[in-house]
Chains A and B, each alone.
Chain A
Amino acid sequence: MTTAEATLPRETSAPRVGRFRSFFSNPWGKPRFLSVWTWLYIIWTIAPVLVAVQFSFNNGRSRSTFQGFSLQWYEAIWNEASANFDDTLLPALMQSLKLALLTMPVATALGVGLAIGLARWRGRGSGAANFLMLFPLVTPEIVMGASMFLIFSNLYHIKLGTTAQLLGHVTFSLSYVVIVTRGRLFAIGRDYEDAAMDLGASPADALRRVLLPLLAPAILSSFFIVFAISIDDFVISQFLCAQDCTTIPIKIYSAARNAGNPSLNALATIMMLLSLLSITVALLILRWFNRRQGTGRSAVEDFARFEI
């Protein structure tokens, strides 16, 4: 189970039976077992979701017997004339989109400022601020949701609904923006800014004309990452919602077990496509940038190394 093996010359392919036997005598010797395990794992994580997507196209009410392809459950979301029209689905989609689109600029602006400030500010208080920034990432959502619910209803007197949800979404997505931006900031280093400032630029000029253009890919991809995590969020949206603010995850939560029909799968599929699409865009931006920089590292690998 080591790389050392990979450097050894490859065995000439043994006869089939022999290979089979060697697998059982020493299944750890070659990574065959591991490769089967990994592929089984991947199928197990993805297949249920694909089945759910498949049934959103079912030509019938069942969510376990496929009766042919149809788009009727997508029509049930927006076509009032459709036989299965459910007038709660489209508002949920709209609420999710509205929240995600509003969260994007606010969280990105605050997060990028916070990341630059924290990375370059070495004075007293920066350690505590760094710590503070990481806290929302490890706090269970129920604690964040409960705490905001309690303070909104008892002190701030913010009515539960879209505004409260927006404040909540910005709060938990802020730290993700900081993480993404900070990674880029470390990679860029301080040299460019120092050079600009040695040549007489003020910190504001250095920021605007040197650092921000260099950070553009991180800022853009933060934008799309925020969209994806906001649209996927359930707990905080639910705690900060009283009525008329049902998002797609809340709708799934309340309808999955009882009133479920494939229109719920259709709604969930739309949500999944939206968040996967925005993550792909975020990845492509980072990849394009990596290519141009010639770092030779894949953006997917960068993503997988995120220290969250």
Chain B
Amino acid sequence: MLRSTGGVVGQRRWYYPALAAPGILWLLLLFILPFYAIGAVAFGSRDQIFALPIPAWNPLEWQFDTFRSTAADLFSSSGLQAQFLRTLVYVATSVAICLVVGYPVAYYISRYGGRLKILLLTLMIAPFWMSYLMRMLAWVNLLTVKPEDPGLVNRLLLLTPYVNDPVNWSSGGVSHLTVILGLIYGYIPFFILPLYAALDRIDKSQLEASRDMGASPASTFWRVTLPLSKQGILAGAVIITLPMFGDYYTPNLMTASPENTMMGNAIDLALQGQGKQPEGAALTLLLSAFIGALMIYYLVSVSRAAKEAQR
């Protein structure tokens, strides 16, 4: 009784691509093609009366005037340069502080969590699943200064001998710290999680080997643990850098001051305003080009890890 398996093998060949097809089609139509639309609008023209964009879908018809002037604006001191540099400083500072604050936490939970590990992990993951906006609202509540009410943080500070007047968190030099605090508070859970995963994956026998060979705890940390967790640090840093570059709501919620606007605010303003769509699209393209390398780096390392897991 020889059953022909030809049908089954034939079905096997198209069956799995067919299962994936609707999802792939969805992503092509609603993710890849929209990305192309950014280019079409940025390199298109606009009608003279309503300033509505006329996208150029044919790459042969692309015009680069708007794009060129927007790019020039980004680097001119009268234009967006300050905003661009501020974004860089905010992001770099926030990532650095996330590392300093987050590494010990991830390290402690992965190494010394013990009986409390599940509890600690749950508490660590919880903010991950609270809306970003809810968590920003919490800080707006704490920091809002009104004539009759300096806010909770100020009231605590006024109890100390160092602060005599309520601090206005949303103007002057402090406002930068307020926004950076918001960014750190918002994104640090996303940094700690991949870092924890990397630390947790370290084979403990490697640490014991280092100790057996006579390394001190400190040199074991610097020469074994830290190098082994480098991937996690990089993954965490990239995964929070990307959304921070596109952030516009954190500065708007934390201070709402023009002194604190970031790149994302410029994009938001141009796209939500009237007649500025091509400029907004050009800025989005410039932002994507700027962070594109980071995205590709992350994707390549993740898919390599996935392949190893599959093996």
CB within 8 A of A304: which of B34, B129, B197?
Answer: B197
Q: Contacts A55-B141, A118-B20, A307-B306; is A45 near B108 (CB within 8 Å)?
A: no
Cα distance A105–B108 when bound, in Å? Answer: 39
* Contact assessment for B24 and A31 in the assembled complex, using a CB-CB cutoff below 8 Å: no
Q: Contacts A31-B112, A167-B30; is A49 near B135 (CB within 8 Å)?
A: yes
Q: What 1/0 mask marks residues of chain A from 29 to 47 whose CB sits below 8 Å from any chain B CB?
A: 1010111011001100110
* Contact assessment for A203 and B271 in the assembled complex, using a CB-CB cutoff below 8 Å: no
Within 8 A of A (CB), among B33-49: 33-35, 37-38, 40-41
* Contact assessment for B38 and A150 in the assembled complex, using a CB-CB cutoff below 8 Å: yes
Nearest A residue to B16 via CB reads A121
Q: What 1/0 mask marks residues of chain A from 117 to 128 whose CB sits below 8 Å from any chain B CB?
A: 111110101100
Main secondary structure of the interface of B (DSSP, over half): helix
Cα distance A42–B108 when bound, in Å? Answer: 12
Q: Is A69 located at the chain interface by the 8 A CB criterion? A: no
A residues in contact with B168, CB < 8 Å: none
Smallest CB–CB gap between B118 and chain A, Å?
5
Within 8 A of A (CB), among B219-274: 220-221, 225, 238-239, 242-243, 245-249, 252-253, 256, 264, 267-268, 271
Cα distance A120–B20 when bound, in Å? Answer: 10
Smallest CB–CB gap between B225 and chain A, Å?
7
Cα distance A186–B123 when bound, in Å? Answer: 28
* Contact assessment for A42 and B123 in the assembled complex, using a CB-CB cutoff below 8 Å: yes
Cα distance A204–B52 when bound, in Å? Answer: 50
* Contact assessment for B149 and A62 in the assembled complex, using a CB-CB cutoff below 8 Å: yes
Q: Is A71 located at the chain interface by the 8 A CB criterion? A: no
B residues in contact with A46, CB < 8 Å: 123, 126-127
- Residue from A136, A140, A301 whose CB has the most chain B CB atoms within 10 Å: A140
Nearest B residue to A299 via CB reads B118
A residues in contact with B72, CB < 8 Å: none
Cα distance A287–B133 when bound, in Å? Answer: 29
* Contact assessment for A186 and B211 in the assembled complex, using a CB-CB cutoff below 8 Å: no
Q: Is A256 located at the chain interface by the 8 A CB criterion? A: yes
Q: Is A130 located at the chain interface by the 8 A CB criterion? A: yes
CB within 8 A of B131: which of A117, A136, A149, A272?
Answer: A272
* Contact assessment for A301 and B121 in the assembled complex, using a CB-CB cutoff below 8 Å: yes
CB within 8 A of A256: which of B129, B140, B220, B295?
Answer: B140
* Contact assessment for B253 and A256 in the assembled complex, using a CB-CB cutoff below 8 Å: yes
A residues in contact with B111, CB < 8 Å: 1-3, 6, 31
A residues in contact with B19, CB < 8 Å: 113-114, 116-117, 121, 207
* Contact assessment for A129 and B24 in the assembled complex, using a CB-CB cutoff below 8 Å: yes
* Contact assessment for B305 and A307 in the assembled complex, using a CB-CB cutoff below 8 Å: yes
A residues in contact with B218, CB < 8 Å: 1, 28
* Contact assessment for A275 and B31 in the assembled complex, using a CB-CB cutoff below 8 Å: no
Nearest B residue to A275 via CB reads B129
* Contact assessment for A110 and B129 in the assembled complex, using a CB-CB cutoff below 8 Å: no
Q: Contacts A4-B211, A35-B112; is A65 near B149 (CB within 8 Å)?
A: yes
User: How extensive is the interface on chain A, given as a class?
Assistant: 35 or more
B residues in contact with A104, CB < 8 Å: none
* Contact assessment for B144 and A260 in the assembled complex, using a CB-CB cutoff below 8 Å: yes
B residues in contact with A300, CB < 8 Å: 118, 121-122, 125
Smallest CB–CB gap between A305 and chain B, Å?
5
* Contact assessment for B37 and A150 in the assembled complex, using a CB-CB cutoff below 8 Å: yes
Within 8 A of A (CB), among B272-311: 277, 280-281, 284, 287-288, 291, 295, 298-299, 302-303, 305-306, 309-310
Q: Is A21 located at the chain interface by the 8 A CB criterion? A: no
Within 8 A of B (CB), among A232-272: 232, 234-235, 239, 248-249, 252-253, 256-257, 260, 264-265, 268-269, 271-272
Q: Is A111 located at the chain interface by the 8 A CB criterion? A: yes
- Residue from B24, B111, B123, B200 whose CB has the most chain A CB atoms within 10 Å: B24
Q: Is B66 located at the chain interface by the 8 A CB criterion? A: no
* Contact assessment for B140 and A257 in the assembled complex, using a CB-CB cutoff below 8 Å: yes
Nearest B residue to A127 via CB reads B303
CB within 8 A of A253: which of B221, B249, B288?
Answer: B249
- Residue from B17, B137, B247, B306 whose CB has the most chain A CB atoms within 10 Å: B137
* Contact assessment for A38 and B104 in the assembled complex, using a CB-CB cutoff below 8 Å: yes
* Contact assessment for A132 and B24 in the assembled complex, using a CB-CB cutoff below 8 Å: yes
* Contact assessment for A45 and B31 in the assembled complex, using a CB-CB cutoff below 8 Å: no
* Contact assessment for B303 and A132 in the assembled complex, using a CB-CB cutoff below 8 Å: no
Supplied contacts A1-B218, A130-B306, 13 more A-B pairs, CB within 8 Å: A2-B210, A2-B220, A46-B127, A62-B149, A118-B20, A143-B38, A147-B34, A256-B253, A276-B129, A304-B193, A304-B196, A307-B197, A307-B305
> Could you show 8 A-B contacts with beta carbons less than 8 Å apart?
A4-B220, A110-B26, A117-B18, A155-B37, A167-B30, A203-B16, A301-B121, A304-B196
Chain B residues near A (Cβ < 8 Å)? 3, 7-8, 11-13, 15-24, 26-28, 30-35, 37-38, 40-41, 53, 55, 57, 101-102, 104-105, 107-109, 111-112, 117-118, 120-127, 129-142, 144, 149, 151-152, 155, 185, 188-189, 193-194, 196-197, 200, 204, 207-208, 210-212, 217-218, 220-221, 225, 238-239, 242-243, 245-249, 252-253, 256, 264, 267-268, 271, 277, 280-281, 284, 287-288, 291, 295, 298-299, 302-303, 305-306, 309-310
Closest 7 pairs (CB-CB, A-B) = A117-B20, A114-B23, A140-B246, A142-B246, A4-B211, A121-B16, A147-B34
